[in-house]
């Protein structure tokens, strides 16, 4: 049996790769560490974005585990530049996984790169792995395991959020395990 915890980063000061956590986000990072405190964790893999790394740093310090960065967990780029109607474009991209806006990445392409990380983890020796990523990519990765995930599930995500993907032989389940204010 393998367990893959997929974590959305804590509240951040922006969307840029170097955007740090807010003071509230730093407190949430400690809540994440408290949430996972009694759990055996074999490895932690994160997006290279600062907000993702800061979200899991208290836990890596507590568990004395190395933080493995993987560019494939970076947030999806919807399009080059700002889209004034980005929310509608995002919804459309969940409806049509191959839709790709100028300078962006299709949902299918983003899902496949995140799924490649998950598949490598599932083939590896570690029974319990944490993947730290971003809202859109998280939703697409969960969709890889459970096709019912889409735009509505993305809208319901919190910062942070945690889902566990459990694979036992041919059986796979996806379950939200985070509750806001979990401490």
Residues 68 and 49 in one domain: yes
Q: Which of 18, 154, 8 is nearest to 86 (CA)?
A: 154
Q: Is residue 55 part of a domain?
A: yes
Model's pTM, two decimal places? 0.95
Tell me what the mean pLDDT of segment 108-129 comes to.
Answer: 96
Residues 56 and 83 in one domain: no
Residues 42 and 21 in one domain: yes
Q: Per-residue pLDDT for 71 more than 90?
A: yes
- Angle of helix 107-123 relative to helix 135-145, nearest 10 degrees, comes to 70
CATH number at residue 65: 3.40.50.1240
Q: Per-residue pLDDT for 133 more than 80?
A: yes
Mean pLDDT score across all residues of the chain: 95
Do 110 and 140 touch, CB atoms closer than 8 A? yes
The whole domain housing 20 covers 8-75
Q: Per-residue pLDDT for 27 more than 90?
A: yes
Tell me what the mean pLDDT of segment 132-155 comes to.
Answer: 96
Q: Is residue 108 part of a domain?
A: yes
The domain total for the chain is 2
Residues 67 and 104 in one domain: no
Residue percentage of the chain with pLDDT more than 70: 98
Residues 59 and 106 in one domain: no
Residues 103 and 51 in one domain: no
Residues 60 and 16 in one domain: yes
């Amino acid at each position: 049996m393998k367990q893959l915890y997929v974590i959305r980063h804590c509240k951040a000061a922006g969307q840029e790769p170097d955007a740090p956590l807010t003071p509230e986000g730093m407190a949430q990072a400690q809540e994440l560490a408290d949430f996972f405190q009694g759990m055996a964790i074999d490895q932690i893999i994160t997006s290279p974005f600062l907000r993702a790394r800061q979200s899991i740093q208290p836990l890596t310090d507590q568990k004395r585990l190395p933080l493995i960065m993987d560019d494939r967990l970076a947030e999806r780029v919807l399009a080059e530049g700002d889209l004034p109607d980005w929310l509608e474009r995002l919804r459309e991209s969940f409806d049509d996984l191959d839709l790709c806006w100028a300078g962006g990445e299709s949902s299918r392409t983003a899902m496949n790169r995140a799924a490649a990380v998950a598949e490598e983890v599932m083939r590896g020796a570690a029974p319990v792995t944490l993947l730290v990523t971003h809202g859109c990519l998280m939703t697409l990765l969960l969709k890889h395991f459970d096709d019912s995930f889409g735009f509505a599930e993305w809208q319901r995500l919190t910062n942070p959020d945690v889902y566990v993907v459990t694979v036992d032989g041919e059986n796979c389940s996806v379950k939200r395990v985070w509750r806001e204010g979990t401490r």
